[in-house]
């Protein structure tokens, strides 16, 4: 990144440090997989004493309960026992900056072709359950539109329009790579959710580049 003209910082939120030089901006995007709640509490304290006015927190649709039905950006669908949901809440509760949250579903895209997810005999569980996935290009597109339109104080889902069953989708993905179709376990009772993307399309007027998971061309994974 330094070669491209960006300032680069190595940040570990679990280690006591002064992040003031790094936090010298109006907007902060947080996209890390850490789920240490105490570490985020320390980070938030530093953000509150910085010039940061807006935070975009990249989260996951895993914060929703398995309802065996559609879930939307509403409290009744959320799992309050989820550590990630609790971390989201820490950011939303601060009155010293404004937070928007994007809850992305499973990531597919370059170097993440779903046809490789279940190789070497790995079995697909709950074969009849629907998938919730999104292509990397749409993740970036949603982030870009949120920043461009300055949409703050909102929670948005990021997920493709279609939700084929795991059996349909991962069979198709394997065949796209001319690989053996994975083994599907259909014995266990499905426990799932179907993530709605209606809000992101309405609020941001976002048009998905890859709305239909079953028609994503092979080149989109290169």
pLDDT digits (tens, 9 = 90+) for 18-61: 999 999 999 999 999 999 999 999 999 999 999 999 999 999 99
With respect to residue 72, please indicate whether it lies within any of the assigned structural domains: yes
With respect to residue 128, please indicate whether it lies within any of the assigned structural domains: no
> In this predicted structure, what is the pLDDT of residue 2?
59
- Can you tell me the distance from the alpha carbon of 168 to that of 83, in angstroms, rounded to the nearest whole number? 31
With respect to residue 71, please indicate whether it lies within any of the assigned structural domains: yes
With respect to residue 176, please indicate whether it lies within any of the assigned structural domains: no
Task: Count the domains in the chain.
Answer: 1
Question: Which two three-digit tokens encode residue 138?
Answer: 């749409």
Listed in sequence order, the residues at least 6 apart from 214 whose beta carbon sits closer than 8 Å to its beta carbon are: 162, 164, 168, 169, 172
> In this predicted structure, what is the pLDDT of residue 6?
74
Helix (H, G, I), strand (E, B) or coil at 165: strand
With respect to residue 201, please indicate whether it lies within any of the assigned structural domains: yes
> In this predicted structure, what is the pLDDT of residue 121?
80
> In this predicted structure, what is the pLDDT of residue 8?
84
For residue 73, what are the domain limits? 2-109+133-162+191-214
Positions in the chain whose pLDDT score sits under 70:
1-3
With respect to residue 157, please indicate whether it lies within any of the assigned structural domains: yes
Residues 124/167, Cβ–Cβ less than 8 Å: yes
For residue 12, the tally of other CB atoms under 10 A from its CB is: 11
Residues 158/105, Cβ–Cβ less than 8 Å: yes
CATH number at residue 44: 3.40.50.720
With respect to residue 119, please indicate whether it lies within any of the assigned structural domains: no
With respect to residue 73, please indicate whether it lies within any of the assigned structural domains: yes
């Amino acid at each position: 990144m330094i070669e491209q003209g960006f300032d680069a910082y190595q940040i570990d939120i679990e280690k006591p440090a002064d992040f003031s030089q790094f936090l010298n901006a109006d907007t902060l995007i947080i996209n890390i997989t850490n789920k240490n709640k105490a570490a985020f509490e320390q980070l938030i304290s530093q953000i509150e004493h910085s010039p940061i006015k807006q935070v975009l927190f990249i989260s996951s649709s895993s914060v929703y309960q398995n309802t065996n039905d559609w879930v939307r950006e509403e409290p009744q669908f959320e799992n309050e026992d989820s550590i990630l949901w609790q971390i989201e809440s820490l950011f939303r509760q601060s009155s010293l900056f404004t937070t928007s949250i994007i809850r992305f579903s499973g990531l597919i895209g370059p170097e993440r072709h779903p046809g490789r997810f279940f190789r070497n005999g790995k079995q697909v569980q709950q074969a009849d359950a629907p998938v919730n996935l999104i292509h990397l290009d749409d993740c970036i597109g949603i982030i870009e539109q949120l920043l461009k339109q300055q949409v703050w104080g909102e929670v948005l889902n990021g997920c493709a329009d279609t939700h084929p069953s795991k059996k349909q989708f991962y069979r198709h993905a394997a065949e796209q790579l001319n690989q053996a179709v994975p083994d599907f376990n259909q014995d266990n009772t499905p426990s799932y959710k179907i993530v709605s993307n209606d809000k992101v399309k309405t609020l941001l007027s976002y048009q998905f580049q890859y709305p239909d998971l079953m028609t994503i061309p092979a080149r989109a994974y290169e």
